Amino acid sequence: MTSPPDGFPGPAYPLGANPSFTDLVRSVGGESSNPASASGGQAAQPGLSGPHGMTAGGPNVMPGVPHGTTVLALKYADGVVMAGDRRATEGYSIADERIEKVFPADDHSAVAIAGAAGQATEIVKLFQTEIEHYEKVEGDRLSLEGKANRLAQMIRGNLPMAMQGLVVVPLFAGWDVGSEEGRIFRYDVTGGRWEEAVFHATGSGGIHARGTLKKRWKPGLDRAAAIRTAVEALYDAAQEDVATGGPDLFRGVYPSVKVVDRDGFHTIPEDEVRGAFEGIVEDLLANQPPIGASGAREAEEAGE
């Protein structure tokens, strides 16, 4: 057993140090805002909706807990693209139009969140610290597999809160330094973890985004095409799902898009995302006139 010197936090661990920050927080106890330890009150928190299409006011949702999200990840030639819309809802109102749902987990991986926003951002913060803590204590980086597993355990720890409506379901993607490829992991509310072969989308609009991804994804997409596919999937999801925010040209709100490749985590500048979105709109206009009830009627009349 080694115990920490006087005045330092942490219990005694058998056989040296435990490199887990989550365990440390739990043992110290004082900071019980730790969501992974799943102890805490029933505070109403802003949120982004889980994968089960829970609608605001539904039976499992606590009063005043906002929901609604689409986050997605897809592989491309040199890594993975991860993107999310920017809307958080609270019942029938919009809680935030510019919320960030995609975060760097470390410099070679990214995590996107769907679910109760307060709970989810706390889990992300804990996850980031967890990875860095491990790296510093051990002097080695955690493998991508190790990071994905650790996240699964943290989501499992949140299960009691999820049963009360504070569901958090992340999406995790990163560059595997060992096998030299981008990899994507999806989760369910119980901490189940599955690796996805090419793409995945989660959140209330995830099902719609997946439709677009299925049609648009091709092996060996280049970076620009992958970014465009991600933006298009989010645009389609925003049309079908009230809780997913679409691009807002007037206020300058665009989806957040991140890329993880061999060189690490990059945030795609807003100009580039706007460019991708404008390209999509241009192509839509070129291939078909705007579809509307009156437009369709006029077209019919003209055809007759």
Partner 1 sequence: MSFQPYVPPEQLIKDRSDYARKGIARGKSVVAVEYDQGILFLAENPSSTLHKVSEIYDRVAFAGVGKYSEFEDLRIAGIRLADLRGYSYGREDVTAKTLANAYSQALSTIFTQQMKPYEVEILVAQVGDDEGGNSMFHILFDGSVADEEGFVAMGGRSEDLSDRLKDSYRGGASLPDALRAAVDAVSAVEERSFEPQGLEVAVLDRTRSRRKFRRLAPSEVGEIVGGGGR
Residues that are catalytic: 69
- Reading the block at residue 84, the tokens are 């999310």
**Contact letters (x/-) for partner 1, 66-85, by CB under 8 A?**
--------------------
Calculate the CA 295 to chain-centre distance. Answer: 37
Query: Tokens 């109760």 — which residue?
Result: 116
Site residues for partner 1, window 211-240 (CB under 8 A)? none
9 part of the interface to partner 1, by CB under 8 A: yes
The CB-of-119 to partner 1 minimum distance in angstroms stands at 16
Q: From the list 63, 139, 220, 292, which residue makes contact with partner 1 (rule: CB under 8 A)?
A: 139
Task: Give the nearest distance from C-beta 262 to partner 1 in angstroms.
Answer: 18
Q: Under a CB-based contact definition with an 8 Å cutoff, are residues 2 and 12 in contact?
A: yes
> Tokens 């690490």 belong to which residue?
264
Residue closer to partner 1, measured from CB, 6 or 304: 6
- For position 10 contacting partner 1 by CB under 8 A, the verdict is yes
Q: Closer CB to partner 1, residue 11 or residue 64?
A: 11
Shortest Cβ distance from residue 113 to partner 1 (Å)? 18
- Residues 44, 62, 94, 137: which binds partner 1 (CB under 8 A)? 137
Binding mask 25-44 toward partner 1 (x if CB under 8 A, else -) reads x--x-xx-------------
Quick one: DSSP state of residue 51?
Answer: T
- Which is nearer to partner 1, 8 or 92 (by Cβ)? 8
Q: Which is nearer to partner 1, 34 or 202 (CB)?
A: 34
Nearer to partner 1, 19 or 115 (CB): 19
* Binding-site size, partner 1 (CB under 8 A): 23
Strands (DSSP E) along 8-87, which ranges?
71-76, 79-84
SS3 content of the chain, % helix, strand, coil (to 5): 35, 25, 40
State the angle between helix axes of 21-28 and 117-138 in degrees (0 to 180), rounded to the nearest 10. 110
> Does residue number 65 form part of the binding site for partner 1 (CB under 8 A)?
no
Using CB under 8 A as the binding rule, whether residue 14 contacts partner 1 is answered as no
142 binds partner 1 (CB under 8 A): no
Instruction: Give residues with Cβ within 8 angstroms of 205, minimum separation 6.
Output: 68, 69, 70, 85, 234, 237, 238, 240, 241, 243, 244
CB of 61 to partner 1, least distance (A): 29
Q: Please report, to the nearest 10 degrees, the dihedral formed by the alpha carbons of residues 30, 31, 34, 38 taken in order.
A: 30
CB atoms within 10 A of CB 188: 18
Nearer to partner 1 by Cβ, of 138 and 283: the residue is 138
The Cα 176–Cα 109 span in angstroms is 9
Query: Rule CB under 8 A: is residue 7 a binding residue for partner 1?
Result: yes
Cβ pair 67, 56 in contact under 8 A: yes
Binding mask 96-125 for partner 1 (x = CB under 8 A): -----------------------------x
Comparing C-alpha atoms, which of 73, 58, 69 is closest to residue 120? 69
- Asked if residues 202 and 169 have their Cβ atoms less than 8 Å apart, the reply is yes
Q: Which of 8, 93, 300, 302 binds partner 1 (CB under 8 A)?
A: 8
Binding site for partner 1 (CB under 8 A): 2, 4-10, 17, 21, 24-25, 28, 30-31, 125-126, 129, 132-133, 136-137, 139
